[in-house]
Structure 1
């Protein structure tokens, strides 16, 4: 079954091309790239065939290279931007990986997968492309990202226009990611989250950064009529009233979900089979075990 279409790939490409012509706002991706590379340094093994899946710049590959790791193959979703990327690079969509089954040691991705429609399908393809005991490590934006902007826009549109339209993408919830990794067949799935608070002089500076990231509203169901000036100004007013610090600067939240999972291999830790325990839990806890349905004092 085809996943519902949420994101407009042509619009995403257009906005990334426009962003590439200006001064990039890549502080968020650089932060993620350094974190992913540091995590990999803690893994006691060598990865020889690595793919950077969809990261919008070469920041992740550069961070890996600075730590002595093998050159990663980059993937780029926008053909026109392929010439700007470090070699080797292939043009492909995250949900259509052009790699043979069992051919990769490591797939890493920085701030790309929050913009795919079929995240479960991507996980399945990554799992298929990994060798046994291969690693998948990725960071994507979570559902609390830009919550302030979402709330301010919703309230302003409701007041001014009598209804709301989607302005901020519905990013993934961390509670769902671990389950998706397990469904895709990954072993030892791990997810964690971190929140970064970035402060701006006003909401318009935040919106300029989002455009410079190529991250302006990419939703298929976005309102296509021009944003009313009155709505925009009311949104800015609400944002400042509700999310400004005492010094007048506003806050913007970016939630980063980091996930990892391994392609199964016999060398990995395995859960014990039911009934194979050598000791009773009740003995370890120094409690009295009672049959189901019994109550203390019966």
Structure 2
């Protein structure tokens, strides 16, 4: 349950759920940690799966854009035979400084995912991994991505879905309700998979593909889950977040987490629902659905298909 009164409207009229300045600070702090690479395991895994989807498309992309690249966890899995040149954008300078090495020439641009500073019809491919779930105006961001693509260009992205960290969410809510008589949101709201196809269609994409993956990571306990989220730069940045939890509430949440979701070895799971999306910018060369009324058979005739013909009975 979210406190709707804490939501603010941006200048464009879109819901302003997230404090983007806070998210920039979180990401910058996480990237500046001396041991920041130990928290990259989720981004590395999702980045490799996005790269796999790029390889599934049998073509070479002369110019590509990575929106919210972080340390470029997609680029490190791509070859220059598939992507010849790549532009990397992120909201934090610290992440761009620590980008992973890759085969193709790259150029870095410090830019917000909500305000892409590129001309229309520029890129053959746009990719994004693990950043779009922090966007306030997701429909607007998808429209911008569609605009900067060339006709017949493709967007391949991955973002966190609505069932992510349900174990943590439920444990905190139950503990806070029991100890404090009510609860506040401690895990940010995420996009549901049922909405994603509509958002892509409204942004002007065609030939859509949306699928879900679940990645489950096991931790010693709730405190390690929250510590790793902080190290990833994935802490809650909603405007209506509650900054602190009472110690008794946190201890109760840890106990609830173990009781409801704990494994036999004493560890607890944290589930990350990852939504993958593929959308194409329309072009006249793309296959189009047949015109209405052009079918040569009627649905009413389908029942006759299984009936034996006279020649079968002979």
Find out whether 1:242 has 2:260 as its counterpart. Answer: yes
Which residue number corresponds to residue 247 of structure 2?
A: 229
CA, structure 1 residues 190+30, in 2 after alignment: closer, same or farther (shift >3 Å)? same
What is the aligned length? 287
Distance (Å, rounded) in 1 between the aligned partners of 2:128 and 2:304: 47
| 2: CA distance, partners of 1:284 / 1:47 | 44
Residue 259 of structure 1 corresponds to which residue in structure 2? 277
Matches within 5 A, 1:155-194: 155-194=174-213
Cα distance in 2 between the residues matched to 1:172 and 1:282: 40
Which of 24, 39, 50 is matched with 2:53 structurally? 39
Corresponding residue number in structure 1 for 2:218: 199
Could you say which residue in structure 2 is the equivalent of 1:122?
A: 141
Stretch deviating more after TM superposition (76-85 or 114-123): 76-85
- Cα pair distance change 1:67/1:232, threshold 3 Å: farther
Residue 85 of structure 1 deviates from its aligned partner by 3.8
Distance in 2 between the 1:84 and 1:193 partners? Answer: 29
Following TM superposition, by how much is the alpha carbon of 1:65 offset from its aligned partner in structure 2, in angstroms?
Answer: 3.4
3-state DSSP of counterpart to 2:173: helix
**TM score, norm. by length of structure 2:** 0.87
Q: 1:236 to 1:42 in 2, by over 3 A?
A: same
Which residue does 2:7 correspond to in 1? none
Q: Contact (CA 8 Å) 1:37, 1:67: kept in 2 or not?
A: no
How far residue 66 of structure 1 moved from its aligned partner, in angstroms, is 7.3
Q: Secondary structure at the match of 2:230?
A: helix
Q: TM-score, normalised by structure 1?
A: 0.92
Matched, 1:94 2:113: yes
Q: Could you tell me how far apart the structure 1 residues matched to 2:296 and 2:95 are?
A: 59
**Mean Cα deviation higher: 73-82 or 184-193:** 73-82
Mapped contact 1:61–1:71 kept (Cα < 8 A): no
Q: What is the 5 A alignment of 1:15-164?
A: 15-22=26-33, 23-24=35-36, 25-65=39-79, 68-79=82-93, 81-85=95-99, 87-164=106-183
Task: Give the whole-Å Cα distance in 2 for the aligned partners of 1:55 and 1:241.
Answer: 37
Q: 1:217 maps to what in 2?
A: 236
The CA deviation at 1:79 is 4.0
Query: How far off is 1:61 after superposition?
Result: 1.4
Distance 1:286 1:164 in 2: 60
Deviation readout 1:69-107 (Å, 9 max, x if unpaired): 323110011245444446511111111111111111000
Segment drifting more, 12-21 vs 27-36: 12-21
Greater alpha carbon shift after TM alignment, 79-88 vs 185-194: 79-88
CA offset digits 1:252-284 (Å, max 9, x no partner): 100000001000011111011111112222223
CA root-mean-square deviation: 1.7
Unaligned runs of at least 5 residues, structure 1: 288-298
* 8 Å CA contact retained: 1:65, 1:71: no
